[in-house]
Chains A and B, each alone.
Chain A
């Protein structure tokens, strides 16, 4: 069975602070994919990044960066110099083998960025 844990329910920061959202996953499969999605107040789900289990390179995209560590089963997401527009719920998700590309989601982290 697959499991994704996002222990941080809510985080509040002041604009321009850096913030890291934690994601810990469990799977017995050796091949799997990890994802991050953003859900702004408008409610839609926006894809941010995908990482496969064989690629442990960290990735940076503008103010966003992701740290994947198989040794600790973690796929953490850092926002540098946060902005009010980053306020959203962020979900980490796992797709393991077994057909269907089914996503197992964490419970999400509500990020509030204030002026």
Chain B
């Protein structure tokens, strides 16, 4: 069982470039999330989705966009990369409120 799969694992971007972080889950979870983890700061919620076609902003959404066209996929788009977006990004999914979230392996992104 794959769980939550994120690609790529590592990426270096130049300032102003764009990219999409891919996330897919095979657990038929309705809820999906994108978090970023900065050193010593814990994880901050960027965007989340409670089902296909429904997305909403989290705590730190600026500079990012998401879409949720299927239950399985929840890609995160960075349009104009900035050094402040250098971070580790985690995609996660959960079955519903109060259930544990399952996390992908993370994507280490560096913007130079």
Measuring CB to CB, which residues of chain A are less than 8 angstroms from any residue of chain B?
4, 9, 33, 35, 43-45, 47, 50, 52, 91, 95, 97, 99-108
Please indicate the chain A residues that have their CB under 8 angstroms from the CB of B42 in the complex.
4, 91, 105-108
In the assembled complex, B102 has its CB within 8 A of some CB on chain A: yes
How would you classify the secondary structure of chain A's contact residues: helix, strand, loop or mixed? Answer: loop
Contact between chains at A43 and B106 (CB < 8 Å): yes
Please indicate the chain B residues that have their CB under 8 angstroms from the CB of A99 in the complex.
50, 97
Q: Whose C-beta in chain B lies nearest to the C-beta of A35?
A: B100
Contact between chains at B31 and A47 (CB < 8 Å): no
Q: Whose C-beta in chain B lies nearest to the C-beta of A4?
A: B42
Measuring CB to CB, which residues of chain B are less than 8 angstroms from any residue of chain A?
31, 33, 35, 40-45, 48, 50, 56, 58, 88, 90, 92, 94, 96-103, 105-106
Q: Whose C-beta in chain A lies nearest to the C-beta of B41?
A: A107
* Complex Cα spacing A100 to B41, Å: 22
* Complex Cα spacing A44 to B92, Å: 11
B95 to chain A: closest CB distance in Å?
A: 9
Contact between chains at A91 and B43 (CB < 8 Å): yes
Contact between chains at A44 and B45 (CB < 8 Å): no
* Complex Cα spacing A100 to B103, Å: 16
Please indicate the chain A residues that have their CB under 8 angstroms from the CB of B99 in the complex.
50, 101
Q: Whose C-beta in chain A lies nearest to the C-beta of B58?
A: A102
Contact between chains at B50 and A103 (CB < 8 Å): no
The residue among A35, A91, A102 with the most chain B CB atoms within 10 A of its own CB is A102
* Complex Cα spacing A18 to B41, Å: 26
Contact between chains at A50 and B100 (CB < 8 Å): yes
